[in-house]
Structures are given as C-alpha cells and as structure tokens.
Structure 1
Amino acid sequence: MKAIDLTRTFSASMPVFPGDRPTVLRKTEGGEADVVCYHLDTGMHVGTHIDAPLHMIPDGKKLSDIPIERFFARGHLIDARGKKEIDAVLLEGKDIQKGDCVLVYTGFDEKFAEPDFYTDYPVVTEEFAKRLVDLGVSFIGLDTPSPDTTPYAVHKILLSSDILIIEGLCNCKELTSVSSFEVIALPPKFEAEAGPVRVVARVG
C-alpha cells in the first residue's frame, strides 16, 4: 500500500483569502522549560480545508454532524490542467458511483504562494456541480482555493445536496498515473462550518 499526502503543511505563513485575518501559530511562552506548547488562532478556510453544508446553507450540517463513513471514498481524478472552466464533459467516461469522490487536478496548487492564487483560479461550472449531485458523490476536492467565485452558486448546489467540498489540495499530479485509489479525508470533529483536513490517497 502506498499513501500520497494531498495536504498542505499548516503554518503561520500560509496565505489567506483577501480580507481574512492571518493565521497565528506560535509557541507559547512560560511554563516548564522542557515542555513545548503551541497556540493556534485561525479561520477555518485556510490551507487544505473542508466545507460542510452550514458554510453556505442556513441550518445546514456542521462538520461534527457528518457521519465518519463520509470521509472515506473511492476516488476519481479529473485532469483539468490548462482549463479556466471545469465543465461536465470532463466527467464523461468515468465510472463514478454513489458515495465516490472526485478530485479535480488543475495544477493551480503550484501558484499557492503567488498573489493571484486567491483571485485568478479555475472554476467549476454549475453543470459540473449538478452532474456530481446526480451521481451522488460524497465529496469533491480541488487544488484551487474554491470551486467558484461570488455569488458562490456552485458551493450552494453542492452543499445543499450534502456534498462536502475540499479546497487547497496539493500533489494531485502524483495520481495521474494511478488507475485506482481511495481517498481518506479526516477533519477534526468541530462544531463549525468548516475546518482543516488531512487528505490522503491510498493506492494499492
């Protein structure tokens, strides 16, 4: 069995959405000399993270409401490199079953540290999102900061149908030569609309 880590390292230097507060991850002062403790102050939508329905749907589910089984799924890679719009045609020929997950690989993760990472990313079309609803997938993951832009129609289509959204993936290129894989995406059990998530593809 091989494990491919699709998760960004969580650090205080991570870029955030324009207007969001910077992440604070610092070593606390005081205490016993040989004891190390860190303090974290962060928004939920930084680095590799997962959106639950509450993020866009009033009275939607929090992360803590999602059954643990939902975070394990057979994966399908959608190679969308070079595309500004990710359309439903890319799903054709894929044997996607109910409960599976779809990972969208654009290569945009390579721009993570650049100023336009949060402003000029590829987006998913509403038709693509509606097709995922029809297929009954468990979640979608992308190597971009979001599947769409304001007014976030794609977010609302997916989350209103209980499809979770993982944003900020990396290393998806390592899956381009893989025929089959399972995705494990485990977030903390936060009573919140989103949270950081460790995403791993298990191959073989």
Structure 2
Amino acid sequence: MSLIDISVPLSEDLPAFPGDPAIRLERAGVAANPFHLTRLSLGSHAGTHIDAPAHLLGEGATVDAIPLEWLIGPCRVVDLRGRKGAIAAGELKPLPLAGVRRLLLRTDNSELWLRPGFCEDYVGLAPDAANYLVELGIRLVGIDYLSIEPAGETSTVHRTLLGAEVVILEGLNLAGTPAGDYELLCLPLKLIRVDGAPCRAVLRPLA
C-alpha cells in the first residue's frame, strides 16, 4: 500500500499562526518515572489541522460533530504553483472540478515550511473563490499553509466556507505531490466541543 503523508511534523520549531499558542513539548520528568512521558501544549489549530464551523460561528458544529465521511474519501489535488497573492475564482473555473467533493490546493506555500518562522507572503483564497467552491458543492478544501485566508484579510473566506459547512484543512505539505486523484484519509483528534483539531492527513493514489 502506497501512502503519501501530507502532514507537517509537530515540533517546537513549527511556526504558529500569529496569536496562536506556540507548540511546547516537555518531558514529564521524575513524575513519570520509570516511564517516558511528554507533556504537550499546543493550540487546536497547530500544524496540520481542520477548522470546524465553530472556529468562527458561535453556533457552528464542533470537531466531534463532523461526519468522518466528509474527511475520508476521493479527493483531487490541483497544482496552483506560480500564483501570487489570493487565488481568484477565475483561476479555479478552468480546472476540472465537476463532481469533486474534497479538494486540495498545492501552491508555492509548501516551500515555506523550509523557512523559519511564520511567513506572511503565503497564498490563500480570494472571497469569490470561496463562493465558487461552495457553489460547486465542495465538502472539504485544503491548502498548504496555516490559513486558507491571505494574511491581513478579514474573515470573509472562513465565514463563507464554514457557514456552508465546508471543512477547512490547513497546514498541509504538498511538496512533491503531483496533481491528480487520490483517496484522502484525514483523522482529527476527537476533541469534544472544540473549534478545530490537529490531524494526520495522508493520501493514497487511486491509480
């Protein structure tokens, strides 16, 4: 079985979105003697993670309410490298997306994981592109940095997607992943009444 791990490794060196808690991994020490234990401290949107509707919408669904069927199944990876700034609807409309329910956007963002610290010049979605994905019936959309919304923008993109119950999968690493069709397996931590959760995301080629 060939699997492609598209998750980023959680470590104290991994950047966090500005304002989010930093990742802290601490040995539990003598209290754990003689077993090795680690105390984890991180935000619900650390590394590769999903945004549930509750991330922005007060009455929105939390992580534990998202059906696993939305997170596992056929998906399409599209190659949008070379784009700068926000991806507009006009750049998505020529792509073969009819019938696609899970969409992963490979951009130049995947190269940003090689740079230390948070990078504000990442590529995100423009509001009209978010509206277009909702019109298509997309159930899950993923992107290869810590936010699907360009830095400094308002919450319009998140509000559009999450308001339509589209799961947002952020913090992917799609470097080396060719465009094409795959099976996505994305399992977030089963956190109760929480707005998002880190997850392990992998692709299995369908061909």
TM normalised by structure 1 equals: 0.90
User: Which whole-Å CA distance do the structure 1 matches of 2:73 and 2:107 have between them?
Assistant: 21
Q: What percentage of residue pairs aligned between the two structures are identical?
A: 31
Partner of 1:60: 60
Could you tell me how far apart the structure 2 residues matched to 1:201 and 1:91 are?
A: 24
Show the counterpart of 2:186: 185
Question: Offset of 1:107 from its aligned partner?
Answer: 2.2
Which secondary structure state, in structure 2, belongs to the residue aligned with residue 26 of structure 1?
Answer: strand
Moved more, 149-158 or 88-97: 88-97
Give how far 1:156 is off.
0.5
Question: Matches of residues 3-152 of structure 1 in structure 2 within 5 Å?
Answer: 3-31=3-31, 33-84=33-84, 85-88=86-89, 89-97=91-99, 100-114=101-115, 117-148=118-149, 149=151, 150-152=153-155
**Is the Cα contact below 8 Å between 2:17 and 2:118 reproduced in 1?**
no
SS of residue paired to 1:141: strand
Q: Say whether 1:173 aligns with 2:176.
A: yes
**Superposition deviation, residue 32 in structure 1:** 5.6
For residues 170 and 32 of structure 1, the distance between their equivalents in structure 2, rounded to whole angstroms, comes to 34
Would the aligned equivalents of 1:76 and 1:96 in 2 still touch at CA under 8 Å? no
Which ranges of structure 1 fall in alignment gaps of 5 or more residues? none
User: Amino acid of the residue matched to residue 166 of structure 1?
Assistant: L
- Aligned-residue offset at 1:74: 1.4
Q: Residues of 2 paired with 1:114 and 1:104: CA distance?
A: 20
Q: TM-score, normalised by structure 2?
A: 0.89
Aligned length: 201
Letter in 1 for 2:189: P
RMSD: 1.9
